[in-house]
A and B are shown apart, each in its own frame.
Chain A
Amino acid sequence: MNWADLNLMPALPELFMSVAILVILMLDAFISDAKRGLHYGLALLTLAGCAVLQVQTYSAVPVHTFSGMFVSDALSSLVKLAMYGSTAMVLVYSRQYIADRGLLRGEFFSLALFALLGMNIMVSASHFLSLYMGLELLSLSLYSLIALQRDEVKATEAAMKYFVLGALASGLLLYGISMIYGATGTLDLALVAKAIKLHTANDMLLVFGLVFIVAGLCFKLGTVPFHMWVPDVYQGSATAVTLMVGAAPKLAAFVFVLRILVQGMEAMVADWQAMLALVAVLSMAIGNITAIAQTNIKRMLAYSTISHMGFLLLGLLAGTPDGYAAALFYSLIYVLMSMVSFGILLGLSRAGFECETLDDLKGLNSRNSWYALLMLLTMFSMAGVPPLAGFYAKFAVIKAIVDIHLYWLAIIAVMMSLIGAFYYLRVVKNIYFDEAQDTSAIVMRADMKLVLSINAVALLVLGMLPERVIELCIQAMKQSLTVI
């Protein structure tokens, strides 16, 4: 490679983001604690700038750069735009919450943007090395974001657990990747795919490597049997950080899995399909059944996440372009849903009070009927009640499974979503039919109120008119997956 060959245009949003992070870091040293709102504004501006550059540099044909380690294609552009949007929303929702808890510091914003940079790299990687570097950048930023609240014993414990288990999973993943490298002699996903297809690689080593890679990936997605970190991390972290861990990283992790399993190892679909089917069934079952027993709503939502990731895997393991598109749609909708639910929890919390048990939601309707309605929409959407987006997302992945004649899996999925409906409806019952224990007024910043409302109403609109978005997902998958 020559310097003149280096095409930086496809990575322009990432470069802009890196420079912006450095500016924010520098400013942090010079401004007083009272003016931390400046960082908030700058972070939002950075996200807006990235989104504009993303649209500007969009190309329907995949463009490779950095010696084929970085790719900009329709899939990465779509997912990156969604991640900018969700990160911006997370910041808007967290503004008051972090200010009340002394977390409104420069590090919060720079680490959040570093995490986003890592996710961008994961989404755009076409080489095992860049995939792994992106993953580590994301993970390290998230560990430290959780630990930032260091006077809280629970947050420190959560960060420690996440860190130790995350390091273990990274080790598993690397071990698997090293076997793939040993078998194929390359780390480039396209070349790995070619070697597997042509059977020039040692099959036994490949399967061994695949097992370790799937284990590592399942950990990052938070699926059974590698799910034990999820509830503790969700419950232990400050709600704003929980939201950050639970929203955009799930999208990035999904594309990460897609890049490795589909772009790199599609020829081994029969092998990973069986593994993912087992993981999906276990995740849906354990996630949904354990969620029923929870009294802490953050913990309940964590188990619900596990079950949602199980559903997402259904679309992925179908092994068809429609299935991948359905899984992408599911992850987009999941991010929207988790943001409203945690957003409401953030809004109900105030200085000195943490809204985190099911009892805290009791009688929300009598305190503020609009927020009650937003929560109702989200819970119905998560449960998969028809006019809402969650229903269509579940429908799409189950259809993908039915299309490849895995009926038993589809039946289990439907049964599990019925079981799941119980605890989502219990939240609705608490909100509408129970007496409020805490009758203090709910104060929310106007911008947060607006964004939260749009976010929740989007679930309703996308549920009634999903065609546009699902068409976008199918297009992205077609354009990105055919040219490898």
Chain B
Amino acid sequence: MSMTTVIFYILSAILLFAAIRVVTAKNPVHAVLYLVLAFFTSSGHWLLLQSEFLAITLVLVYVGAVMVLFLFVVMMLDINVEKLREGFWRNLPVAATVGLIMAFEMVLILTNPHTGLADYKAGAALAADASNVKVLGRQLYTTYLLPFELAAVVLLVAMVAAIGLTQRSRKDTKVVDAADQVKVRSQDRVRIVKMQAEKNVEAADTAESGEQQA
């Protein structure tokens, strides 16, 4: 067994362990930390495939930015996991039965001799000076131009939706528009109503209705 294969199996074992812990960890913060481990380990897999650019991107973007943000959010939310798990033991027998049957069926099919790894040849090794970034860039902007541009549109939709869902002009706000304040004229605020000094009831009524109309 070559060194690469040994490393592959070690990384895979860690990856699977981390992935399982993500879903089984009681504490959500621990789950996120295991997810970080899973991402980090899979970036090791990229490196084995000689895709150093993708490996570094995975660490920088997912581990460095996305997961840290995620961790913040999880720490701020006060999630009561015990409450979410209340039905766990009650539903376990049924879930386990269904799961076992499914696993059994998959094993039946996948143990078929025709689904071996032998069908899939390993890719040729890359030259020492092969540039991942160059190949990726060329592919993205030529062959995969359409999906690439569409991904940009999807991100734009996400932006529009995020702004549309969160931004609102509050009706109860007390903020004063300075420009409106400066522009205001006396006629807008003060109304001079001419009325008799002495009035009878009828005249008062008409004056009042006249006032309302005005």
Interface residues of A, Cβ cutoff 8 Å to B: 1-2, 6, 18, 25, 66-67, 69-70, 105, 107, 110-111, 114, 117, 121, 129-130, 133-134, 136-137, 140-141, 143-144, 147-148, 150, 182, 202-205, 208
Contacts and interface: CB of A to CB of B under 8 A. Distances in A.
| Most-contacted residue by chain A among B119, B142, B161 (CB, 10 A) | B161
A13 to B, nearest CB: 14
Given A144-B164, A205-B115, A137 B153 contact: yes
Interface string B109-126: 110101100011000000
A70 B156 CA distance: 21
Contact of A67 (B110, B114, B120, B145): B145
Nearest to B112: A204
A133 B151 contact: yes
25 contacts: A2-B142, A66-B146, A67-B143, A67-B144, A69-B144, A70-B146, A105-B164, A107-B163, A107-B164, A111-B161, A114-B156, A114-B157, A117-B153, A133-B146, A133-B151, A136-B154, A137-B153, A137-B157, A140-B158, A140-B161, A141-B161, A148-B165, A204-B110, A204-B115, A205-B115
Contact of B160 (A25, A117, A202, A203): A25
Interface of B: 109-110, 112, 114-115, 119-120, 142-147, 150-151, 153-154, 156-158, 160-161, 163-165
Given A147-B165, A204-B112, A130 B119 contact: no
A342 to B, nearest CB: 23
Given A133-B147, A133-B151, A202 B157 contact: no
Given A107-B160, A133-B151, A147-B165, A204 B109 contact: yes
Given A111-B164, A144-B157, 20 more contacts: A66-B146, A67-B144, A67-B146, A69-B147, A107-B160, A129-B144, A129-B147, A130-B146, A130-B150, A133-B154, A137-B150, A140-B154, A140-B161, A144-B164, A147-B161, A148-B164, A148-B165, A182-B120, A204-B109, A205-B115
B156 to A, nearest CB: 8
B114 A111 contact: no
B109 A208 contact: yes
A25 to B, nearest CB: 7
Nearest to A107: B164
The dominant DSSP class at the A interface is helix
A114 B154 CA distance: 9
A137 B154 contact: yes
Contacts of B115: 202, 204-205
A67 B142 contact: yes
Among B150, B156, B165, residue most surrounded by chain A Cβ atoms (within 10 Å): B150
A7 B165 CA distance: 38
B103 to A, nearest CB: 14
A150 B166 CA distance: 9
B185 to A, nearest CB: 22
A141 B165 CA distance: 12
Contacts of B143: 1, 67
